[in-house]
Amino acid sequence: MSGKENFKFKILDFKDLERVMEIERLSNPTPWSIGSFIDCINSNYQNILLIKQEETIGFCISTINFTESHLLNISVHPEFRSQGMGQLLLNKSEQDAKKKGVSDIFLEVRDSNEKAIEFYKKNNYKNVGKRKNYYRLSQGREDGLIFTKHMNLSSLESISRFSLFFLRKMLNFNRG
């Protein structure tokens, strides 16, 4: 991928919601509501945007709970797909999670989403189960496959990184 230096990351903010909703509607047969994205912002999830020339072209949303992360949603605008943008987002999300002490990442993917399944397998995610009827469709439901990736952190390293992350968060919170 050429021109990678033209991309930057930023944290999702309320002013970004219109564009994020556009990408979500173009990416998901049953898109999240704007309320779901607002909840992610208000809950301080790991909300990453990928920006090219001041335009949001993708996003990745994850929760961080101690040493585990749950990748909830990753989407790239159709005009930028198959160009490595999803890879940039996933790499950034994994790097940030690892800095926070995450040792395991979990996600669900639609059973019919072959491109996403291939993408996660290429990135060393392992299929560990299935959630029956997990995804709502316009008509009926679809199974969700559960994938996980171990980040190769020792328990001590994971707890140490999480403790530092938590301490920094508390210090910033106390500053107002």
Torsion sign, CA atoms 127, 160, 97, 40: positive
pLDDT at site 155: 59
Average pLDDT, the chain: 89
Q: For residue range 122-139, what is the model confidence (pLDDT) as tens digits?
A: 999 999 999 999 998 888
Q: Give the per-residue pLDDT at 69.
A: 96
Structural domains for the chain: 4-94 (3.40.630.30)
Q: Answer for the pair 126, 21: CB distance below 8 angstroms, yes or no.
A: no
Q: Is the pLDDT at 6 greater than 90, yes or no? A: no
Q: Which residue has the higher pLDDT, 174 or 151?
A: 151
Instruction: Give me the pLDDT at residue 163, please.
Output: 67
Are 117 and 82 a contacting pair, CB within 8 Å? no
**2, pLDDT greater than 80:** no
Q: Is 120 labeled as catalytic in the residue annotation?
A: yes
3-state secondary structure the chain: CCCHHHEEEEECCHHHHHHHHHHHHHHCCCCCCHHHHHHHHHCCCEEEEEEECCEEEEEEEEEEECCEEEEEEEEECHHHCCCCHHHHHHHHHHHHHHHCCCCEEEEEEECCCHHHHHHHHHCCCEEEEEEEEEEECCCCEEEEEEEEEECCCCHHHHHHHHHHHHHHHHHHHHCC
Among 45, 94, 108, 135, the active-site one is 108
Annotated catalytic residue, options 45, 120, 125, 135:
120
Any catalytic annotation for residue 157? no
Measured distance CA(134)–CA(54) in Å, rounded: 35
Its pTM stands at 0.84
How does strand 104-110 pair with strand 68-76? Answer: parallel
Would you say 45 and 59 are in contact if contact means Cβ atoms under 8 Å apart? no
- Give per-residue pLDDT as tens, 28-54: 989 999 999 999 999 989 999 999 999
How sure is the predictor about 168, in pLDDT bands with cuts at 50, 70 and 90? low
